[in-house]
Structure 1
Amino acid sequence: MADSTQVFFLLGATLAAFVWGRFRYDLVALAALLASVLLGLVPAEEAFLGFGHPAVITVAAVLVLSRGFERSGLVDLIAEQALRVGDRLILQTLVLSGTVLVLSGVMNNVGALALMLPVALRLAREHDSPPSLLLMPLAFGSLLGGLTTLIGTPPNIIISAYRQSLGGEGFGMFAFFPVGASVALAGLAVIVLAGRFLVPQRAGKASLDAMFDTAHYLVELRVPEESKAVGWSLRDLLEAVEEPIPVLAVVRDEARYPGHAFLGTLRADDILLVEAGPDEMTLLEDKAGLTVGPEPTEEDEGTDAEPAAEEDKDKRSGVDTEGLQLVEAVVRNDSMMLHRTVGQLRLLNQFGLHLVAVARDGGRLNQRLRDISFRAGDVLLLQGGEGDIGESLATLGCLPLASRNLALGQPRRLLVSVAIFAAAILAMVLDWLPAAVALSAAALVSLLAGVLTLREAYQAIDGPVIVLLGAMIPVGQALETSGGADQIAEGLLALGSDWPVVMTLLALFAIGMLLSNVVNNAAAALLMAPIAASLARGFDASPDPFLMAVAISASCAFLTPIGHQSNTLVMGPGGYRFGDYWKLGLPLSLAVMAVAIPMILLVWPP
């Protein structure tokens, strides 16, 4: 079997695994790399050279610098201004989407979205409007902003490095700006003007306050003197009921102790604040002897206690939730929580977190917490210690959305962070240093200057993306060296032998855009770049317009929630369904294509 045929089979299986989504994309990419080595498509001694590729180093450095922006207090400044726009939806959409568009041009797309997502949710809450009207435009804005600079999105970095591998120079820092900015502005106009008509309005149930109206799910349970729970620790209690029921607080002698930090044993007349439904309350009563409500008074004696208990079950909204240290977070695509349960993760023991509730598709899940297998986009209500909950969320791969009585991160040296980044950009623009070197140096100086800690820097580096890039770069090269890319290009040229270059660019752009909606955008760029170069050779034209078409199209995943992390992250908080994205995404994709192709031909003629 010819090498090119083997490459096609391997890439077909890899793409199928990406779309299936059962295994995380970094594992699929690593499996594809090892398979290509075993098939002889990639020499064994070159198998891991991709991990030292300049594109991989550049992406890692950008991720570190992005985290520095997040920790520098930038979000506070942005939020202060964004929250002043008033209650007009069109202005809210313009300010939020425009801001995230600018931010994602100089930092990681997901990082920019992470900064603005809590702001959008707070704005929706303050004006009592559905967050669904703001979150999808926000996610799409983060994708559009990445088109404007070299470091805005991994496909741009990959295409620049590939251009350099062809014997030329890589694209400069602002080489993408004329085309990218035109496309971004056109896309922003579509989002602002048409978004309110095309984005589904998930009123009520998509609101985080509605999903997690904690007071309506909390109940006070008393430990009577004759209760079996007297002398038990909270761990003993949960083992007895065989259910991870969150005990959010223990009240004793007018003092309140957070449940995740309570290490003592229960005493008679302790009050437990428990997140429990009727089934869980029955378990606690039968297996631990807990009773609903405070200790009966003398006035209550001689009355029928059963109806009173039932009445208390229906009046749980009066429970005081002040100071419970609750935080809402969404599960990322690369989270270690995916396809695992609370018990498998050992959330309380390993991370000091109580899982209080889970919402999916805009509504709270009513099944038992221990049975829930987490998915990307799930919204979690968690309780944990104020000092380390941010670190725990970062380790788990969760993005904090909004908090109650909890500050995640503190402002740090904004001016220092901006100055370091500006110096790196200047070195790149003046051609003093390659992008990988300049940005790595900036990341190192940020660490030395205390903009962020070493632990935060390592946590900022998106391991799955780094593995994906390092593994797929040799596989993409195998597509070229085996002749597979030339065969695909020849097929396209044969189909459109009488077409002008613009029609071929349109076809290439459409294929890249469709591919990016089902696989990671970096993988789409890595696979499409050799085909674009082969097409350019077939036309005996400059590769620049073809490579630029791949760069733009690979970053325009507007049709599905799985094409980009930004889309997935807003799915839960916005209450969106899979089929909601194309309603705004299709007009946006057509507008992007209509603007991108003429601008590419104008700025980068064949």
Structure 2
Amino acid sequence: MMTWAVLLSIVGLLALLISGRVRPAIAFVSLAGAYLLFGLVDTATLLRQYTNPALATLILLLLVSLALERTPLLDWLSQRLLRGRPSSATARLMGTSAVLSAFLNNTAVVAAFLGAISRQTRIAPSRLLIPLSYASILGGVTTLVGTSTNLVVNSFALSSAGFELGMFQFSLVGIPVALLTFGVLLWRAQSLPHHMPEATADKLSYFLAADLQPGSELIGRSIEANGLRSLEGLYLLEIERGGRLISPVGPEEILHEGDTLVFTGEVRKVQALQRFPGLKLFGHQADALLATNLVEVVISHESELAGQTLQEVDFRSMFNAGVVGIRRGGKRLEGQLGQIPLRTGDCLLMAVGSDFRQHRNLDRNFHLLSGSLTRPQLSRRESWLTLAGFVSVIGLAAAEWLPLFHGLLLLMGGLLLGRVLSPAELRRRFPFELWVIIGSALALAQGLENSGAADLLAQGMQHLFSGHGVYAAFIGCYLLTLLLTETVTNNAAAALAFPVAWTTAQAFGVDPMPFIMAVAYGASACFLIPYGYQTHLMVYSPGRYSMGDFLRVGLPVSLTYSAAVLLITPLVFPF
């Protein structure tokens, strides 16, 4: 009875993840807690999963990557890759992002190129951003540290099999797969739409501005007293007074004669302003001024804003900024902006206050697309020392002279001593949700084994593929992982698919390595829809893509990638 209950709990977990109603971290940790309560795992076993050495290595790598994100190398490269013909620029961009993503966090690589691509006007960003995201995936599958998914699989391998995967063990299959898929991607990139960046005039169409005329009874009274905070469909964003902007506008702000009030929201509901005597609508005299503090950002996968509305998080107080417009893919969202639940990957056009760049939670919540703000960067000396340290750690780990965890820990200490990173920054950017998901998933895998559900699963897989052989079972595990990564997230897919692949290999009595690799490559095979992979969400709105754009490029890429994985993996890692 308990065995079937455990299997049903995993099905329920999968249903919750697909529905998107519950954050993955909450779903995984809740089920792990239930397993602890019913005695499927004990306290010591549960805590041991959260301190898994391979998981600790993953966390250290992500934290060290915070310093690598701030080296000027990526910005320098982004300015030089887009020269020449569009086709050759696309190829250079894809090749560079793939090579960098083999060793750096692919989210950081895409984030570094995203702003430069969005700001340039020579090549339509929509012709570059999907190739950038897909190429970063192809580069990531070639090494252990290229993507968090490979390190997640490494955590499960250590927990279940007692061994860790090598730095370049993924390269034997990953490099030929990446090269074959690269050609198809370059060919299909030509079918992407031409969406040039929005001009300032298009962005200012979000605004509605009105002059406060002499003698108006609104003068000398606060915003709240005049009833300007509760307009239907409109929101008072900022005030232009004597050549300077007051942004955001607090409820106690007193109106002065000659003020220009700037509204945003449903600008078609202009009639809402007709009941205020002394407010005179005008054309676009303030356009130049309004454009001086516009910043466009993408909500990051680490952001605490996802799933919440602007009103719920009190966005204006949190960032000293007002949201002018929201774009999701190629569609501008309309209506009450403050009541729209935000999603990872949404583009926000914001009018920001003077101290916006001083807010410490910007890097965690946003990827900058355009505006006058710049990310704080390392000096040339700090950059070279950081890069040299990282390359040394990777080289020593590849030569098996120093474990990767030891090298990353030493590098982290050096970065803290050199004040390249600060403890406050590490606290702010700590990948807490990923740590909770993987640690809980390892505990769930242990619960599957202790309850007998893993054995039942193995028997089922053996029965299902008994007439077709181990190769059919291998294909089945890969396709299961691919389906999961397209419907949930890549890391959650790896966590759910690994126990199935591991028990299947045991049931057939074969070497588990090809099945482990099937999970690793399958979890990174997210090419069809934008919601399963963080870099796709990062480019979705800046490129103004539709779902059809991802399918048009992603289907032949996914077919080529999958065929290459299924053919090459058993040759390199025989059963």
**TM-score normalised to structure 1 length:** 0.87
Structure-1 residue corresponding to 2:504: 535
Following TM superposition, by how much is the alpha carbon of 1:543 offset from its aligned partner in structure 2, in angstroms?
1.6
Measure the CA separation in 2 of the matches of 1:276 and 1:38: 49
Structure-1 residue corresponding to 2:461: 492
- What pairs up with 1:141-540 in 2 under 5 angstroms? 141-197=135-191, 199=192, 201=193, 203-204=194-195, 207-209=196-198, 213-232=202-221, 238-239=228-229, 241=231, 245-252=235-242, 255-260=243-248, 265-275=254-264, 278-279=267-268, 281-287=270-276, 289-293=278-282, 312=283, 316=284, 319-321=287-289, 324-385=292-353, 387-389=355-357, 391=359, 394=362, 397-400=365-368, 402-412=369-379, 413-540=382-509
* Partners of 1:515 and 1:524 within 8 A in 2: yes
Question: Are residues 527 and 417 of structure 1, via their aligned partners in 2, closer, same or farther at CA, if it must alter by over 3 Å?
Answer: same
Measure the CA separation in 2 of the matches of 1:335 and 1:343: 16
Following TM superposition, by how much is the alpha carbon of 1:423 offset from its aligned partner in structure 2, in angstroms?
2.4
Q: Give secondary structure in 1 for the equivalent of 2:370.
A: strand
Paired letter, 1:259: S
Structure-2 residue corresponding to 1:35: 34
Q: Is 1:52 aligned with 2:51?
A: yes
Following TM superposition, by how much is the alpha carbon of 1:548 offset from its aligned partner in structure 2, in angstroms?
1.2
Structure-1 residue corresponding to 2:109: 112
Structure-1 residue corresponding to 2:122: 126
Following TM superposition, by how much is the alpha carbon of 1:21 offset from its aligned partner in structure 2, in angstroms?
0.1
Q: Give secondary structure in 2 for the equivalent of 1:231.
A: coil
* Partners of 1:72 and 1:451 within 8 A in 2: no
Paired letter, 1:96: L
Q: Give secondary structure in 2 for the equivalent of 1:191.
A: helix
Identity of aligned residues (%): 30
* Partners of 2:233 and 2:266 within 8 A in 1: no
RMSD over aligned CA atoms reads 2.7
Structure-1 residue corresponding to 2:24: 25
* Partners of 1:559 and 1:582 within 8 A in 2: yes
* Partners of 2:101 and 2:136 within 8 A in 1: yes
* Partners of 1:358 and 1:365 within 8 A in 2: yes
Question: Are residues 275 and 167 of structure 1, via their aligned partners in 2, closer, same or farther at CA, if it must alter by over 3 Å?
Answer: closer
Following TM superposition, by how much is the alpha carbon of 1:63 offset from its aligned partner in structure 2, in angstroms?
1.5
* Partners of 2:102 and 2:141 within 8 A in 1: yes
* Partners of 2:330 and 2:543 within 8 A in 1: yes
Following TM superposition, by how much is the alpha carbon of 1:580 offset from its aligned partner in structure 2, in angstroms?
4.0
Paired letter, 1:126: R
Paired letter, 1:68: A
* Partners of 1:240 and 1:287 within 8 A in 2: no
Measure the CA separation in 1 of the matches of 2:201 and 2:55: 40
C-alpha offsets along residues 294-323 of structure 1, whole Å, 9 cap, x if unaligned?
xxxxxxxxxxxxxxxxxx3xxx38721466
C-alpha offsets along residues 477-519 of structure 1, whole Å, 9 cap, x if unaligned?
2223333233323322223224343333222211111111112
* Partners of 2:177 and 2:564 within 8 A in 1: yes
C-alpha offsets along residues 168-187 of structure 1, whole Å, 9 cap, x if unaligned?
53112122112112222222
Measure the CA separation in 1 of the matches of 2:355 and 2:528: 39
Which structure 1 residue ranges, 5 or more long, are not aligned?
294-311
* Partners of 1:348 and 1:354 within 8 A in 2: yes
Question: Are residues 409 and 448 of structure 1, via their aligned partners in 2, closer, same or farther at CA, if it must alter by over 3 Å?
Answer: same
Structure-1 residue corresponding to 2:132: 138
* Partners of 1:63 and 1:460 within 8 A in 2: no
Paired letter, 1:354: G
Following TM superposition, by how much is the alpha carbon of 1:211 offset from its aligned partner in structure 2, in angstroms?
9.6
Measure the CA separation in 2 of the matches of 1:566 and 1:35: 33
* Partners of 1:556 and 1:589 within 8 A in 2: yes
Question: Are residues 385 and 434 of structure 1, via their aligned partners in 2, closer, same or farther at CA, if it must alter by over 3 Å?
Answer: farther
C-alpha offsets along residues 383-411 of structure 1, whole Å, 9 cap, x if unaligned?
224654374663762322x2222223334
* Partners of 1:323 and 1:405 within 8 A in 2: no
Paired letter, 2:523: A
Following TM superposition, by how much is the alpha carbon of 1:459 offset from its aligned partner in structure 2, in angstroms?
2.9
Measure the CA separation in 2 of the matches of 1:486 and 1:582: 38
* Partners of 1:65 and 1:107 within 8 A in 2: no
Following TM superposition, by how much is the alpha carbon of 1:234 offset from its aligned partner in structure 2, in angstroms?
5.5
Question: Are residues 215 and 489 of structure 1, via their aligned partners in 2, closer, same or farther at CA, if it must alter by over 3 Å?
Answer: same
Question: Are residues 277 and 317 of structure 1, via their aligned partners in 2, closer, same or farther at CA, if it must alter by over 3 Å?
Answer: farther
Following TM superposition, by how much is the alpha carbon of 1:243 offset from its aligned partner in structure 2, in angstroms?
6.5
* Partners of 1:428 and 1:434 within 8 A in 2: yes
Q: Give secondary structure in 1 for the equivalent of 2:487.
A: coil
Question: Are residues 409 and 236 of structure 1, via their aligned partners in 2, closer, same or farther at CA, if it must alter by over 3 Å?
Answer: farther
Question: Are residues 486 and 321 of structure 1, via their aligned partners in 2, closer, same or farther at CA, if it must alter by over 3 Å?
Answer: farther
Following TM superposition, by how much is the alpha carbon of 1:276 offset from its aligned partner in structure 2, in angstroms?
6.1
Following TM superposition, by how much is the alpha carbon of 1:283 offset from its aligned partner in structure 2, in angstroms?
3.2
Measure the CA separation in 2 of the matches of 1:572 and 1:518: 19
Q: Give secondary structure in 2 for the equivalent of 1:286.
A: coil
Structure-2 residue corresponding to 1:81: 80
Measure the CA separation in 2 of the matches of 1:9 and 1:364: 40
Measure the CA separation in 2 of the matches of 1:416 and 1:140: 30
Question: Are residues 83 and 5 of structure 1, via their aligned partners in 2, closer, same or farther at CA, if it must alter by over 3 Å?
Answer: same
Which structure 2 residue ranges, 5 or more long, are not aligned?
none
Measure the CA separation in 1 of the matches of 2:361 and 2:277: 32
Measure the CA separation in 1 of the matches of 2:209 and 2:159: 66
Measure the CA separation in 2 of the matches of 1:334 and 1:80: 26
Paired letter, 2:534: Q
Following TM superposition, by how much is the alpha carbon of 1:191 offset from its aligned partner in structure 2, in angstroms?
0.7
Measure the CA separation in 1 of the matches of 2:224 and 2:319: 15
More deviation, 493-502/507-516: 493-502
**TM-score normalised to structure 2 length:** 0.91
Paired letter, 1:155: T
Question: Are residues 317 and 83 of structure 1, via their aligned partners in 2, closer, same or farther at CA, if it must alter by over 3 Å?
Answer: farther
* Partners of 1:489 and 1:531 within 8 A in 2: yes
* Partners of 2:229 and 2:236 within 8 A in 1: no
* Partners of 2:149 and 2:490 within 8 A in 1: yes
Measure the CA separation in 2 of the matches of 1:232 and 1:115: 46
Following TM superposition, by how much is the alpha carbon of 1:20 offset from its aligned partner in structure 2, in angstroms?
0.1
Q: Give secondary structure in 2 for the equivalent of 1:47.
A: helix
Measure the CA separation in 2 of the matches of 1:395 and 1:6: 42
Measure the CA separation in 1 of the matches of 2:8 and 2:235: 48
C-alpha offsets along residues 363-384 of structure 1, whole Å, 9 cap, x if unaligned?
2223122232222322110122
